[in-house]
Structure 1
Amino acid sequence: MIRLFRSKIYLAIALMVAVLTVGVFGFRFISNYNWLDAFYMTIITVSTVGFAEVRPLDAHAKIFTALLIVSSVIIFSFAISVITEYILSRNSLQLLKKKKVKNQIQNLSNHVIVCGYGRNGMQAAERLKAYKQPFIVVEREKEIIEKYEDSVLFMEGDANDDNVLIEAGVERASYLIAALPDDAENLFVVLSARQLNKSLFIISRASKVTSQKKLLLGGANKVIMPDKIGGDHMASLVVIPDLITFMDKLSMEGEHTTNLEEVAIEDFSDQVECNSLRDLDLRRKTGCTIIGYIEPNGNYIINPEADLPLQPNSKVIVLGRPEQIRKLNEMFHIRA
């Protein structure tokens, strides 16, 4: 619809330019005016202001002027109607778009709220999208929203405003990622979100080491320092390059790369009797390998033994190629 209106506006502008051009050339060659007088006569004629002519018009010039007035009135009326219709329709489209976004937000539950769509917020959104995790981005910059709104669900507003977080469904959300560029703003977001949802898992970005403790005290569950991680990663590529390159490949998305997946024990126990990791026998059934076990209290066990007893509400970390992960999900009806 916007394209249709744009084409109409371009047509209206082209017609107005054509009328002005015809008027200038007409007065120049029919009435023998110089270029300045011809331009002046064209402007006062098409605008119908009623100023006096530069000099009296002959019969041919009067006929030309009459035709110019009629055509300019029609064309300028068309242009005004197109512009008015475009403005009204744009406002209507904005209202419809806001209503659609509001309905989408109301349908969200157990979703992720990403505060800020800068470099880190964008990376987080891309990864969430890759894993088909429902999320909404709270962003105050209108230009950013207009640029990416076709592929990302946005909520326009300041994440430091409690009302904006409530509209984003913070009370129904499972996670919140505070990815604003300023540590103080992230702290305010963490404090507000924690008050609105006590069980919310909050992950915050931090630029300074001194901000990390404050964010944790403010209610953040995890604090990530992208600059520190980047520096550590680059140094590790010097010290243990092959290991780091291998670890990077584990986290990549693609048809021919390996993947890591975490699976709740309940996804297995509903279908097979599993008292230990050996009972699952995932290596033979799917080709996947269990490389980690997460106990209900959050304790991590790396490379667990096959006879490790499985507890309710625990998870296993599985390593496998994409086709092996898909086979695992299909065999045990695990939601990907």
Structure 2
Amino acid sequence: MRSKITIAISLLVTILLIGIVGFKLIMDLSWVDALYMTVITITTVGYREVELPNDTAKLFIVFLILCSVVIVGYAVSVISEYLISRSSLKELREKRKQKLIDSMENHIIVCGYGRNGRQAVEKLIDYNREFIIIEKDQEVIDNSALGEEFFFKGNANEDEVLLNVGIERASTLITALPDDADNLFTVLSARQLNADLKIISRASEETSYKKLKFAGANNVILPDKIGGEHMASLIVSPDLIEFWDNLSYGGNEGVNLEQVSYEQMFDGDVGCSIIDLNLRKKTGCTIIGYKSADGEYTVNPDPEMMLTTGSKIIVVGNTQQIQNLQKVYRINNEIT
């Protein structure tokens, strides 16, 4: 298509030059008058000639008109075809993207592709989770290495945009917008559209924490506070923090953390304690935490503690041990 456009433009420039030079030589006009005569002849607008043409000039004008009709017609058709094809191609891509989004179930919606949003997406890719990013800045989308198919351009505050990305079928919403007010409106809209949605929101100010929780966010993260506490902890207990930094979540190297739900371990209501689970012998992993069905956490739980429906255990192990755990309990890195 681009070659056709190049040919069309070349033909237009050629006929324009032929007309200018022809009128200059045949009618002895100035360069400006020659350009004027060429343009009104090619465009057939019917303006008055600079001077009456002689017989030779008339024949040249006839030749110029016949050639320009063909060339201009060809150029108009090629340019129109190019513009229409670009518009149609864009519409086709948008339809394909929307069709893909409509097929998503229990996917993750990430609002904003700034620093925090990008980090969240990188982790979702590690976990092979299905996600779609809402981003209103086209430049951010163009500069991303992900590809445009992972983005939906729009404002996450708008209900229509949230509905277009399948908010009613999504399992989790991560809102990482730079402004707390935008995050608050997004949380309010999302919670209204999907009461069962898990919402994780970013906040810049501590005063926004309670507002976001009240609006419906399940978890509110304060990156600046976490970063400050982390730096201070490196002074107070550097060895402990360095060890913690070596832990990874779903990575391929080092020490890993993993969570396992009761439903992944058992089919139905089975009475079992932590010591009866014998997880260390089965997988090599060690249980370091327990979360009850009510959401209460217990660090280093008692071996006699009973596992109940809706509860979860948090385990630690090296890469091979975590892989053994995932095989035994058919864990597919799901966010729960």
TM bracket (short chain): 0.7 to 0.9
1:105 corresponds in structure 2 to 101
The unaligned stretches of length 5 or more in structure 1 are none
2:226 corresponds in structure 1 to 229
Q: Distance in 2 between matches of 1:334 and 1:125?
A: 20
- Would the alpha carbon gap of residues 28 and 306 (structure 1) be closer, same or farther in structure 2, given more than 3 Å must change? farther
Report SS of the residue matched to 2:272.
coil
Q: Distance in 2 between matches of 1:322 and 1:147?
A: 34
1:9–1:82 contact (8 Å) kept in structure 2: yes
- Would the alpha carbon gap of residues 60 and 169 (structure 1) be closer, same or farther in structure 2, given more than 3 Å must change? same
Q: Please, which of 183, 187, 190 is the counterpart of residue 184 of structure 2? A: 187
Q: Distance in 2 between matches of 1:77 and 1:245?
A: 72
- Would the alpha carbon gap of residues 107 and 46 (structure 1) be closer, same or farther in structure 2, given more than 3 Å must change? same
Q: Please, which of 170, 185, 196 is the counterpart of residue 199 of structure 1? A: 196
Corresponding letter in the other structure for 2:260: V
Q: Distance in 2 between matches of 1:320 and 1:151?
A: 37
Q: Distance in 2 between matches of 1:250 and 1:82?
A: 59
Corresponding letter in the other structure for 1:137: I
- 1:165 deviates by 2.6
2:141–2:148 contact (8 Å) kept in structure 1: no
2:126–2:251 contact (8 Å) kept in structure 1: no
- 1:262 deviates by 1.5
1:268–1:274 contact (8 Å) kept in structure 2: no
Corresponding letter in the other structure for 2:208: S
Corresponding letter in the other structure for 1:103: K
Tell me, yes or no, if structure 1 residue 219 matches structure 2 residue 216: yes
- Would the alpha carbon gap of residues 258 and 57 (structure 1) be closer, same or farther in structure 2, given more than 3 Å must change? farther
1:333 corresponds in structure 2 to 330
Corresponding letter in the other structure for 1:16: L
2:8 corresponds in structure 1 to 12
Percent of pairs with identical residues? 52
- Would the alpha carbon gap of residues 12 and 257 (structure 1) be closer, same or farther in structure 2, given more than 3 Å must change? farther
Report SS of the residue matched to 2:307.
coil
Tell me, yes or no, if structure 1 residue 128 matches structure 2 residue 121: no
1:137–1:152 contact (8 Å) kept in structure 2: no
Report SS of the residue matched to 2:313.
strand
Report SS of the residue matched to 1:262.
strand
Aligned residue pairs: how many? 331
TM-score using structure 2 length: 0.78
Q: Distance in 1 between matches of 2:49 and 2:70?
A: 22
TM-score using structure 1 length: 0.78
Q: Distance in 2 between matches of 1:323 and 1:66?
A: 85
- 1:274 deviates by 8.2
1:204–1:223 contact (8 Å) kept in structure 2: yes
Report SS of the residue matched to 2:260.
strand
CA RMSD for the aligned pairs?
A: 3.6
2:127–2:250 contact (8 Å) kept in structure 1: no
Corresponding letter in the other structure for 2:217: A
1:263–1:317 contact (8 Å) kept in structure 2: yes
